[in-house]
Structures are given as C-alpha cells and as structure tokens.
Amino acid sequence: MNTAARDRALLPAVKGVLGRTPVSKLKLSKDKDGGLTVALHTSRPNNVRMESQALTDALQEKIGGERALKLEVIAEARAVAKYLRASPRKARLVIDVIKGKRVSEALAMLRFIPNHAAELISKVLISAAANAQDGWGAGVEELKVQNILADGGPSLKRVRARAQGRAFRILKRTSHLTVILTDAPPAIAKPRRIAAPAKPKAIAAPASPKSQTVTKQAEEEATLDAPITATPATETQQVPGSGQGKSSTGDSANTPDSGQAAQASAEVPQEATPVTASDAPEIDMSDRAPDSSDGADQKREEGE
C-alpha cells in the first residue's frame, strides 16, 4: 500500500469521531525515534483539539501495533472556485506573484496587476480569508497564502468562419482555483539603526561691536579709494662698447638706436633743484693771482 492510499484508509476512523467537522488533509509520517505522527489539516482546529484523545485512540486501533502515536492539528482554510472563465496558464502567471505572501499584501498587489485573472483570484482569496475568520478567528494580517492551485477545466468550443467556407475551432478555456491559507508567523520587527553621536559644533567667534565694525569698514574703503602711484621704471640704456673693434659684425639691427635712447631719456622728466643766493658758495677774490690773459683780446698796435 502506497502512502496516499494508507492516509485515505485512516479517514473513516477520523470521521467516525469528528462527525461533520471538516478535515481537508490527513498525513501519516514516521519520527526518528520510531513513533508515528498524524497531521490533520482542518478549518476547525478548536473542535479537533477538543476530541484529540478520542482521535488518538481511534487511530491507534486502526493502525495497530505498539508504536507511540502523536496527533498534530494544523489550522488551514480553503476556498475553491470552479469553471472560472480564465486560462490556467494566464492564471498561474498571477499566482506565482502572490504565493507565500501575507493575505493583506497579496490583496494589495492584486489590485494593481493588469490581468483579468487577478480580479477572479482576489475574490477567491477573500472567500478563503472569510473561512479562516469563521473557523478560528484569524484576521487578514495573521494569514499567509500557503498555496494556490490553478487546474484546467472544460473548454468551450466555438467556431470562426474562414475563407472558402472553412471553419476554425476556437477553445475558450476555464480553470478551477483552490486557495489554501495558514497562520502566518509573527512579523519580526526590523532593528532600528542607532544614530551615531553628533559631532560637537564649532563655537562661532563673538561678533565685534558695531562701532568697531563700522570703523574697520571705513578703513578698508579708504584703502581702496586711495590713488595708486606708479613708480617710474628705470630704463637701462645699452651703450655699444668701444672695445668691439674689428670683431663687430656691423649688424645695424643689433646696434641700439641713439635717437631712440635720447628720446627715452627726454621723456623722463628730471626735477631741477632751484638754487637761491644764500645757498650759492662765496668766492674769495683777495688771494686770486692776476690773470695773465688780461688784455689778450685787445687789438695790438702796429709794431708790437
């Protein structure tokens, strides 16, 4: 007997104890210590937990043997929609986006997915969330999408007329959707970053009094308004050396122009210092020898 057939053989014992309490899935597995674990997926976990001891005894009798049996109850809500007018392939494109998300996040994403199947899937998801709320009081924020199945349904046959009296077959596909929701783990708060201690701000220098500021500004303006006195540059005149002699090449381009030099010297004004009578040196005429040249300019008489 394979695993699926073995699990189905245990369902009559479970239904005999629980009655009409829905059980969506039953799975029998072996533990490492040699015991057995029976996992029951149901939308009424509280009812199953109340009958846990009776279920354990019924399953132990059905299985037989002296192995220890452990019962595990898993809260699970389902919703099934059949014959939806959407292709299974196009529905799976939307399913892959929201699988494993929280229900609140999945509904928000389906609102903005531009696909016809997104609206149909959102309706089935809301129905499954309502079943969870009715089953064990779980809210939308406490549920996550465990799995979504899109199975192919019957196709509607239609005909399209083509050339020369022919007809082409058109298949309008349908799909069956199954949504499974379980309890979501508690959200883990992200650790906040601790801000680094702020560096101490530099202390600004105290502002100078208004009177000193005005005085300093006035001094700067006076400095800027003062005329700039240009210092006359001293031009160095190159006088050709007299010792060139025969070695001179006679190039007139390298010979300084005497006229230009004279003009440059004339352009530079030289201030003459006036001499007053009091500043002139006194000439002593007492000890001066008689000038022998006196009368040299006089006309000589004839015979001299």
- Residue 186 pLDDT greater than 90, yes or no: no
pTM above 0.85, yes or no: no
Q: Does residue 83 share a domain with residue 65?
A: no
Looking at the structure, tell me whether residues 37 and 89 fall in a common domain.
no
Number of domains the chain is built from: 2
Residues 164 and 81 in one domain: yes
Q: Specify the higher pLDDT residue, 54 or 273.
A: 54
Which pLDDT belongs to residue 198? Answer: 77
User: Can you read off the two tokens belonging to residue 253?
Assistant: 């381009």
Q: Which of 31-35, 41-45, 126-130 has the lowest mean pLDDT?
A: 31-35
Q: Which residue has the higher pLDDT, 104 or 32?
A: 104
Strands, E assignment, 21-63? 25-30, 36-42
CATH number for position 91:
3.90.470.10
Contact criterion met (CB below 8 Å) for 138 and 132? yes
- Summarize pLDDT for 250-296 with one digit per residue, the tens: 444 455 455 554 454 555 555 555 555 455 555 555 555 555 555 55
Cα distance between residue 68 and residue 36, in whole Å:
6
- Give residue 6's pLDDT band: very low, low, confident or very high (50, 70, 90): confident
pLDDT at 164: 94
In a domain, 37, yes or no: yes
**Shared-domain flag, residues 64 and 141:** no
Please provide residue 192's backbone torsions phi and psi, each rounded to the nearest 5 degrees: -80, 145
Does pLDDT of 227 surpass 90? no
When mean pLDDT is compared across 31-45, 116-130, 142-156, 191-205, the lowest value belongs to 191-205
Query: Could you list the residue range(s) of the whole structural domain that residue 107 is in?
Result: 77-183
Percent of the chain whose predicted confidence (pLDDT) is above 90 = 42
Residue 287 makes CB contacts below 8 A (sequence gap 6+) with none
Domain shared by 86 and 113, yes or no: yes
CATH code for position 37? 3.30.300.30
Condensed to tens digits (0 to 9), the pLDDT of residues 89-141 reads 999 999 999 999 999 999 999 999 999 999 999 999 999 999 999 999 999 99
Specify the pLDDT at position 246. Answer: 46
165 and 133 in a single domain? The answer is yes
Residue 126, sorted as left (phi over 0), alpha (psi -120 to 50) or beta, turns out to be alpha
| Domain termination residue (choose one: 141, 162, 183) | 183
